[in-house]
Every structure is written in C-alpha cells, then in structure tokens.
Structure 1
Amino acid sequence: MFCDIELAGRIERAEAQFIGACGAAAARRRGDRTGFVIPIAGGVASYAEPDSPLNKVAGLGFAGRPDPAGLDAVERAFAGRDAPVQPEISSLADPGLLETLARRGYRLVSFENVLGRPLGGVVEPVAPPGVTVDHSGDDEFETWLGVVVEASLNPDTQGVPWHEEFPRAILENAERDAAGLVRRYLARFDGAPAGGGSMRVADGIAQLTGAGTAPAFRRRGIQSALLATRLADATAAGCDVAVITVQPGSRSQQNAQRRGFGLLYTRAVLALLS
C-alpha cells in the first residue's frame, strides 16, 4: 500500500484527535488541573498524569509549522509538570519541522513504525483451535483490562524495545481513559481470557489501538485472530484503511505483515528534557 502525504496527514490527524480525547478523559477522571490538552499547528500536546503513555505531542507537520509562541507555551506546560516534551513526528511531515525542533534542543529518542493495509474486500477469518474473539462489553471490562495490561507489562523481546516502561497503575489508567473511545475485543483460549485488543474508527481510518496476549497463551494464534476480527469489523464500518503502530522489527510487526500490512511511514520520537 502506497502512502502519500495526504494519507499520512489523515492518519496523523486521527492520532492527534485520539490522544487529545484520551487526555481530556484523563482530566475528567482526575477532576483536577494536573493534565492539559493544547491544540498546536493541527496537532495536540497532551499530558494526563506523571509517567503516562498519553504524555506526548502528536500530529505535527501537516498543517504548517508551529510558531515559536505555541512551542513556548507547550514547553512551559510540560516543564510545569516536570515532564519531558515528546513530539512524535512522521517521516512524511514538513521536513522543516525537524530542523525547527532541533534548533530548540530536541533530540532523537526512538522510532516507531506505522503500518497500514487497504480495506474494502473480504477479510479472511482466522480461527485457531480453541480460540474465540468477541466484543467486550462493560460487564467484563475488568477482565479485558487485566489481560491487556498483563500483556503490556510482559512484552515480547523480538525487535527494538519500547524506549519507555510504565507502571501497572498508570497503564490501567490510560486504558480506562481510552475505554469510551474504542471498541474492545476479548480473546479466549478454551474459555479462559487470553488476550485483548481495541480499535477506533475515525475519518475512514481503523486505528488498531492496541492488542496483547497474556504470556501463558502466546504462540497460539491469538494475535492473528484479534487482528482478523478487527479488520472484518473495520471493513463492515466502511473504513478504507487500517493502521497499526509497532516497534521496528517486533513480533507485532511480523504478525501484521503476515496479514497484509506494509510500512507506511516511520515516526521519530523526540524529547526535550525539562
């Protein structure tokens, strides 16, 4: 699948909207002034709480470069929380943006890959022996949350590791903040909760917003089944593209490419320490 600047802009706008909505949900959950969501140059700067995966700047580079005053405001906001500013910049964004950030002292921390595949045709079902995948309702949210967080805390070691690790309680909070924005899926193996995933639909894009398998149930096709179910639902919802963010060289990337995903672009994760 070929990704041009227009498609990358759609994907990055969807990502910025999602991060902003999660940040707003975190503020409602906390009921205080710890967090913030600041629009900036078509993207968003979000801070939820200390050590949260929602603390980032997303979506820059497709609606003009941020002006110095806007960057100053964002940097002051993060500094006031004693947190680094971490923009995630697409390789298809305005090339001048990286130069602007470099002059302000930002440094490269890591990369992540955005994969995609076109939708519209029939999605081949995947049904490994003993594995079932169902929509997960509010009545089993805690079950879904437990298996997803456990998977996140015990990642596969293939490929480049994530540059950050998050405490269990903070991961649980982030998943709770996103819960009202995504469709959740629970996978079972012989009836036992074994894995979970989620998906958000926006502007014809199916964002596969996370999936994981509990360590005891890995290598049994659960990730493939979760992926196939979400792709079928995305097709039924009228999406024309599905996207997933992975670490370079990871098993998640390998599994996605086996299901027809290809590399659309890479994001550079930068940091300005407070």
Structure 2
Amino acid sequence: MSALFCDFPLAERIERAEARRMAEATEKARKRPGSAAFVLPVAGGVATFAEAGSPLNKVAGLGFGGVPDAETLAGVEKAFAAVGSPVQVELAHLVDPGIGAALTARGYRLESFENVLGRDLRGAADRVLPEGVEIRPSGDDDFAAWLDVAADGFGHPDDQDPPSDHQFSREVLTRAMRDLSEGNVRRYVALCDGVVAGVASMCVVDGLAQFTGAATRPGYRRRGVQTALLSARLADAAGAGCDFAVVTTQPASRSQHNAQRQGFELLYTRAVLGTIFTNL
C-alpha cells in the first residue's frame, strides 16, 4: 500500500469539518440559560467559547480562508477577553506561515502539538474483535452511561502517554462531550465480560468519517478495547460510503499507536498556540 499524501485540499476538507463540529457543539451550549457562549467565523475557521474551562474554547480551522488581518484577530481576542478566557489556536502546519508569525507577534506562545491521522477507506475494512470484547451501538437510552464512561476515560489519561497540559473538570468535560456527541454522531460502547469498558463516537459528513473520541476505563486498558472500537468504526464508515477516515491524537500516545496499527497514517500536525492575556 502506498503512503498517503495530504495536499492542501484534503487538509482543508478535514479542518472545515472540524470547525463545523466545534461550531455545532458550541451552538448547543449557547442554548443553556445564562450562557455566554459564542461562535465567530475567522479566516475559514471558527472561534468558539462554550463556558469557562471547556475544551470547546478554541480557534479551529484557521487559515483555510486566507490570512486573517489584525482587525479580525483583535475581534476574536476581545470576544474571549470579554468572558475572561485566554485564546487557544489550533493551527495546521500546511497553512500560510505568515499566520504563525502574526500570532507570535501578538503574544501567542507555542503550547503543544496534536497529530491528524487519516486512512483511505476505498477497500475492505475487516473487523477486529479481540477475545472477550463486544462492540455495540449506543442509543439514547444509555447516553448517560456512555457519558459517564467517557468522562472516566478522558479524566484518567493513560500512564504511558506523554503528560498533557490540558485539564478539565469532570462537570465541564461531561457537558462538552454531550454537546459533541449528540445529533449526527454515531456512538459505540465496548463491553468486556458484559461490563461497559470503553466508548467511542464517529461523525460522518460528506463522505468524511471523523473519529471524534474514544476512551477506556483505566481498569480495562491493554485488553484490545480501542482496537475493537477503531475496527468497528472503520467498517461502519466504509459501509456508509465514506472514502476517508480521520482521527486526532496526542503525539507519541497510545491512541496514535493504536490508530497506526489499524492503518492510519500521519497527515499533518497542528500547533497549539495560546496567550494568557484576557484584558484587551
């Protein structure tokens, strides 16, 4: 099999889908009483704020609609400052380098990286089911249980992963995951010996399957749960007519390792840049 090549149009397709996902989830947060949430378009991407300390607070997909001017960036910064939040920008390395230069000149600092991996789905995708693991769809009747397992998994990072700078309260994380996992999202649960051990989700839009999250309870790791969840989503995505699947992982993480074992390849890296100023 030849290595995947990620050109600008493919990266733009992925980044626009991610920006749309952030916007749709944040629009749900805006409907809660007393919400200060906002969604702002910016240079082909979107700036979103859901609530204090939320993983939805970011600028995603920036740079695929040109280089933002100083007035546009100032408007985004003022919106975040008004709610007392720093700004975090996820910037794909394929965009115009002038964007990174403009951000650092405004006081943004490099905080971390995340990898975007993809897999071509044009071809058979065999299901892999380790012994003792069962995968089934998750419906509305068990959504609360799905969220509980997701919060357990995300709240306790794998001890073999590099340390993360991002920490979220369980309450805020659960609300964000609820907003991200409703609507046009397929949810899955993995059972080990009849006990829910892991969960995952997938968003299918215009032939692109976004693997939008997966978590395993700490006591059930190293039993093939993530392999089974990846395999099930790949098969379902191919069956739904998708031509491409994409997943975002922390560099050098178990999630990246599991994805690459299932045929995913590194497409590009996002630099995560942030600023601590909030009073503009």
Q: TM-score, normalised by structure 1?
A: 0.97
2:255 match: 252
1:6 match: 9
The one of 134, 138, 142 aligned to 2:144 = 142
- 1:185 corresponds to 2:197: no
Percent identity between the two aligned chains: 55
Paired residues of 1:108 and 1:270 also in contact (CA < 8 A): yes
Structure 1: distance between partners of 2:207 and 2:51: 31
1:42 match: 44
Paired residues of 2:29 and 2:35 also in contact (CA < 8 A): no
Paired residues of 2:35 and 2:51 also in contact (CA < 8 A): no
Structure 2: distance between partners of 1:201 and 1:160: 30
Unpaired runs of at least 5, structure 1: none
Paired residues of 1:158 and 1:250 also in contact (CA < 8 A): yes
Structure 2: distance between partners of 1:215 and 1:32: 35
2:199 match: 196
1:23 match: 26
The size of the alignment, in residue pairs, is 273
The one of 226, 230, 246 aligned to 2:229 = 226
Paired residues of 1:39 and 1:45 also in contact (CA < 8 A): yes
Paired residues of 1:120 and 1:235 also in contact (CA < 8 A): yes
Structure 2: distance between partners of 1:78 and 1:49: 11
1:79 match: 81
CA deviations over 1:77-117 (Å, ceiling 9, x no partner): 10111111001000111211111111111110100111111
Instruction: Determine helix, strand or coil for the equivalent of 1:24.
Output: helix
Paired residues of 2:26 and 2:39 also in contact (CA < 8 A): yes
2:120 match: 118
> How far is 1:62 from its partner?
1.2
Instruction: Determine helix, strand or coil for the equivalent of 1:143.
Output: helix
> How far is 1:179 from its partner?
2.4
Paired residues of 1:158 and 1:249 also in contact (CA < 8 A): no
CA deviations over 1:135-190 (Å, ceiling 9, x no partner): 10000011111111100111113243322110100111011112223211011111
2:273 match: 270
Structure 2: distance between partners of 1:268 and 1:230: 27
CA deviations over 1:45-72 (Å, ceiling 9, x no partner): 0000010000000001111011222111
2:162 partner letter: V
Q: TM-score, normalised by structure 2?
A: 0.95
Structure 1: distance between partners of 2:122 and 2:163: 33
